[in-house]
Amino acid sequence: MKKSKHPKYSRILLKLSGEALGGPGGVGINPESVHSMAEQVREVRDLGVQMVIVLGGGNIFRGLAGSERGIERATGDYMGMLATIINSLALQDALEKKGVPTRVQTAITMSQVAEPFIRRRAVRHLEKGRVVIFGGGTGNPYFSTDTAAALRATEIGAEVILKATKVDGIYDSDPKKNPKAKRYERIAYLEALQKQLKVMDSTAFSLCMDNKMPIIVFDLFKPHNLRRVVMGEKVGTVVTG
């Protein structure tokens, strides 16, 4: 089959875990990992694709883990949201050093460091060729950054959510523990829910299902993989209706 020279998508949301910024250990901010991620984003933005990014904060602080150690859950979640904003600023810095104009919008107001989330303004940034990073999750405790990704993708009219992971798709069991684990090329939302395949948390997943938002789970750590996904190559697992 002849490869297309044009991107398959014109507006995408990339969901990155905080651990992806933490390098091999998944903790803190690893400058090499941040710059390699920024390079993949730049490559796709140079194709003319409009791009928004939602970042997790697990490399710095995870609210759920904090609550298990005695921190009040809502407080822990707000701390986690602030961690996502730190990550957003780190990625913005790396992108702008590569000549990619970038804006950070946050769900928690902090006007000295970022814009507040305003949907119409975010869309305008995209139309002007800027990458927009959404920090602060949804701004509410008890909601994950996966839910923030599903919500923002729907709000800004993205065509697909690209969920970057350390594995090359969705498997029927843990490929690290089971060498015979089977990878799905495509799977329906309901089947993924019934088989309890941990694609996203159930709130985020339901939001995608209700709004017919396709999700592609892929390995970001292979060079040029993000570009390959955007160009429509068969990379990772596609979750659709």
**Domains defined for the chain, CATH in brackets:** 11-240 (3.40.1160.10)
- For residue 42 the two structure tokens come to 């730049």
Type of residue numbered 72: E
- Between CA 172 and CA 129 the distance in angstroms is 39
pLDDT at 169 over 80: yes
Nearest to 201 by CA among 157, 131, 138, 109: 138
Q: What are the tens digits of pLDDT across the range 83-140?
A: 999 999 999 999 999 999 999 999 999 999 999 999 999 999 999 999 999 999 999 9
Task: Give 25's DSSP letter.
Answer: G
Nearest to 148 by CA among 17, 10, 8: 17
Q: Provide the greatest CA pair distance for the chain.
A: 56
The β-bridge relationship of strands 215-219 and 237-240 is antiparallel
Q: What are the tens digits of pLDDT across the range 78-93?
A: 999 999 999 999 999 9
Residue 25 is predicted with a pLDDT of: 87
- For residue 112 the two structure tokens come to 């000295």
The β-bridge relationship of strands 170-171 and 237-240 is unpaired
Task: Give 81's DSSP letter.
Answer: H
